Structure 1
Amino acid sequence: MMNVDNREPLFQEVFDSLKEAMAGLRFGTVSLTVHDGQVVQIDVTEKKRLALKPKR
């Protein structure tokens, strides 16, 4: 098991990556994949909202 003090740089890296992933995201999801208590992957899915014109 990893010492909590040794995880601090990893937490900062995850936090920085999350901020970057969310910076330009208006609609969508950010998903974390965790293995053995550590974040190993960040997935970003962006949704594009389209304005539909009403039918006449």
Structure 2
Amino acid sequence: MNPSLAAGAALTVAGVVGYLVGVVEPYPGRAFSVTAVMVGVTLLAIGRGGEPA
């Protein structure tokens, strides 16, 4: 498995879970969950990009 793809999936899932927990119970630093989702989606796109032809 592509390391960028795996890291992106992990960060996206962790960010979404962190966001949902922050909606239920506000905690310091919960805004970093949105950053984790943005970075995770970017890494997913890079990981799925494939080799240039």
TM-score using structure 1 length = 0.38
Q: RCO greater where, 1 or 2, for CA within 8 Å and sep 6 or more?
A: 2
In our comparison, the structure showing a higher alpha carbon Rg is 1
Larger strand proportion of the pair: 1
TM-score between both structures, scaled by the size of structure 2? 0.39
Greater helix content: 2
